[in-house]
Structure 1
Amino acid sequence: MANVLVQETPFKTISVEPLHPTFGASVSGVDFENTSDEQLREIIAAMAQYGVCVFRDTHLTDAGHVAFSRRLGALDDIGRFLTPQRKLRYAHLELFDASNLDDTGTIIDPHSPRAHAGRGNGIFHVDSSFNPRRASFSLLRAVAVPPPGATTGGNTDFADSRAAWDDLDPGVKEELLERDWTGAHCLAQSRKLGSPEYFRDVDPAVAPMAKHKIVQRHEASGRFNLYVGAHLHHIEGDGMTPGASAELVASLNERVTQDKNVLSVAWEQPGDLVIWDNRAVLHRAGKWDGDGKYARDMRRTTVHDDSPTAWGLNPVGSPMPTMASFTKGPVITNAAQAQAAVVKV
């Protein structure tokens, strides 16, 4: 296949150590501030093969993180998710805040509204599947982690959606390919799943839905994958009823996230970076015992997919969802407001 990027020859500029029988690798030898074109191609080839790559002690700054990410494609930004109450404590809107800190750097209350909204991240999901244009790569970097031995847990877990497809019974594969069903995704779905009582008045069914096929071919490897996860609200298509949709959503999510498909990555020190391909894996924030006690500052860039199926069944150029999709009250509506919501550093 012309678009397959898996490298058949040995890597020349990086060292790669597999972390799991089917996916995931630790990669070393990368200079992120001065990455050559050849080395970038090898990193992309490693991503095509392994789906998740772990880079330790990168020494990346915020600016370096954003600059390297841009070499992988156009970036999403957090501006549309800011509110007058939720500001950004650093200068780059391209960095999504995955920390437990507020805009002053203070540890947030684990029972605060923001903490409730973040609980959905603890369920296996695909970044940005609720967007009309899906994401390709996510690049998550540790800026501050608890002292060694101070906490347990806090890993980021990944699930291999390509291996999950490979393991399906031939009859199930045949039906999924023949039916070619569509998944409807929204951010409100994962938020309600993560904290159902807090979001009891939220009805995900009335939120804007992004439509993407549940069975997709991962261009970079030529393999099929299951595009599911916590943002998936329901499945549409020929012969699909609400009951059958709920049953299939649960079944496919369970198949992808069974233990044999899961890799857990620990965060060892500031500067650790994990890159994953949302078209090949699901992920979740693992539980830990330091929330409310220790600062954990994680920042993520998200790369817009540029493949032929990036927009799924959504009109190309469709507007991205905002906090207004499931939040009442004032929200950020334009770039100028978003920039004003950045805490000056």
Structure 2
Amino acid sequence: MAATAIPSYNPSPRVEPLVQYRPLHPTFGAEATADFATITPDLVDEIKRGLAKYGVLVFRKTGLDDARHVEMSHLFGDLDDVAPFVSGLGQKNRLSSDYLFDVGNVNPDGSVMQPGTMRDLLLKCNYHFHADSAFNPRRAGISLLLAHELPPAHLGGETEFADTRSAYEDLSPDRKEEIKDWVVLNSQLQCRRNANTDKDGILDPLLDTDEFDPMKHRFGKHRLIQLHDPSGRTNLYIAAHAHHVEGMPIEEGQRKLKELLDHAGQPQYTFKVQWKDPGDLVVWDNTCVLHRSVPGGYAGKYKRDLRRTTVHDMGPQAWGLNGVGATWRSGLD
């Protein structure tokens, strides 16, 4: 009788995860590794799952260019664009797509932005903790910020993030009860004015006009306390754009909002991302974290060319209390 052949063993191929994570902070943020050579819906879905947990993901040397940056961003959802600001304010977009927000310090002619110019004054708002587009009728969901050219590392220019889910959890029960129903009115102009007011309370004359007066324009209205749907955790939706609390005297509301923003910006809730190489990509969820640019000695001397795509919030709270489908933009209404 012939011997029975031993069945051959073909082990299943090892399936590597599409994204690997290394935590950067005890409560949020991770350095992530992924292959961006082929951008697929599966990869984007995994990044979304990572964001639900970590809020901020840092990818190094992605190899992305403008076109692939925009291509991938479309897979996350509806994209915001700069077209209304370019046409409405008579600005020039030096970049290849209206889906790219130019948030660096490079002028349209390629020169380095100089301190004290109008563009510098407007971008100073970025030095304060904020959530993208909290001032517009439809807020931002996910932002994807890609490095193109960076200043020397020792001259600053990091991006700092704050964990507003943990910041909310650590509030006292009495404070949570006090703020549970607050509706906050947000204005981009509020942040810009505060960023250009000196220690004596004197506003830079270039911004002391009706054009930059928040009370002369519409506000983006959003609830302060919200459920962060992807994680099921409660979130403190606060930003430097917060102007006042609906139904509360303005000065009282501004004081209390500043207390909450300062609370969220404490060291135990924050960490900084050091930009290392062109192609570094940072992705974050504006509905559960805040961010700000860190100033440094590079200003006026070296290029810090960062370009952002902004995915509209696709969740049930995207439009806040502003009316679904509203088309106005902050400062252009």
TM, length-normalised to structure 1? 0.86
How much is the aligned-residue C-alpha RMSD, in angstroms? 1.7
Provide the residue aligned with 2:8 in structure 1: none
Counterpart amino acid of 1:219?
Answer: D
Deviation, structure 1 residue 52: 0.4
Q: Is the Cα contact below 8 Å between 1:185 and 1:210 reproduced in 2?
A: yes
* Corresponding position: 1:100 with 2:105: yes
Residue in 2 aligned with 1:210? 220
Q: 1:281 aligns with which of 275, 283, 289?
A: 289
Aligned to 1:159: 162
1:230 aligns with 2:240: yes
Confirm or deny: 8 A CA contact 1:80 1:323 kept in the other structure: no
Q: Which has the higher mean CA deviation after the structures are superposed, 75-84 or 261-270? A: 75-84
**Counterparts of 1:17-96 in structure 2 under 5 Å?**
17-28=22-33, 30-82=34-86, 86-96=91-101
Tell me the residue number matched to 2:279.
271
- The one-letter amino acid of 1:113's match is M
Corresponding letter in the other structure for 2:111: T
- String of CA shifts for 1:157-204, please: whole Å, max 9, x gaps: 001100100100012112322xx1100011111110111332233321
Q: CA deviation at 1:319?
A: 1.5
**C-alpha offsets along residues 304-335 of structure 1, whole Å, 9 cap, x if unaligned?**
0111111111111112315535xxxxxxxxxx
C-alpha contact 2:143 2:286 (8 A) present in aligned 1: yes
Name the count of aligned residue pairs.
309
3-state SS of 1:253 partner: helix
Report deviation, 1:277.
0.3
Partners of 2:219 and 2:330 within 8 A in 1? no
Tell me the distance in 2 between the aligned counterparts of 1:11 and 1:231: 42
Q: Is 1:110 aligned to residue 115 of structure 2?
A: yes
Helix, strand or coil at the partner of 1:168? coil
1:41 Cα offset (Å): 2.1
Aligned to 1:132: 137
Rate the CA distance shift 1:42–1:294 in 2: closer, same or farther, 3 A: same
1:174 aligns with 2:177: yes
Contact 1:82 1:323 in 2 (8 A): no
Task: Identify the range of structure 1 (267-276 vs 138-147) with the bigger mean alpha-carbon deviation.
Answer: 138-147
Aligned-residue offset at 1:82: 1.6
Shift of 1:206: 1.9
The structure-2 alpha-carbon separation of the partners of 1:308 and 1:207, relative to structure 1 and needing over 3 Å to count, comes to: same
1:302 is the counterpart of 2:306: no
C-alpha deviation, 1:15, in angstroms: 1.3
User: What is the alpha-carbon distance in structure 1 between the residues aligned to residue 139 and residue 68 of structure 2?
Assistant: 24
1:12 is the counterpart of 2:17: yes
Q: Distance in 2 between matches of 1:313 and 1:44?
A: 25
**Counterpart of 1:258?**
266
Task: Give, in angstroms, the shift of residue 13 of structure 1.
Answer: 2.1
State the AA in 2 paired with 1:131. Answer: N
**Aligned in 2, Cα 1:210/1:271: closer, same or farther, shift over 3 Å?**
same
Question: What is the letter of the counterpart of residue 286 of structure 2?
Answer: N
- Structure 2 distance, partners of 1:64, 1:214, is 35
Q: Do the aligned partners of 2:41 and 2:75 also contact (CA within 8 Å) in 1? A: no
Q: How many Å separate the matches in 2 of 1:76 and 1:38? A: 22
Kindly indicate whether the alpha-carbon contact (under 8 Å) linking 1:32 and 1:68 is maintained by their aligned counterparts in 2. no
Query: How much has 1:243 moved relative to structure 2?
Result: 3.7
Partner AA of 1:209 in structure 2: F
Amino acid at match of 1:170: P
Letter aligned with residue 161 of structure 2: F
SS at match of 1:77: coil
Letter in 2 for 1:87: K
Q: Which stretches in structure 1 are left out of the alignment for 5+ residues? A: 1-9, 326-345
Structure 1 stretch 227-236 or stretch 38-47: which is displaced more? 38-47
Residue 229 of structure 1, CA deviation: 1.1
Which has the larger Rg? 2
State the alpha-carbon separation in 1 of the partners of residues 258 and 236 from structure 2: 13
1:99 partner amino acid: G
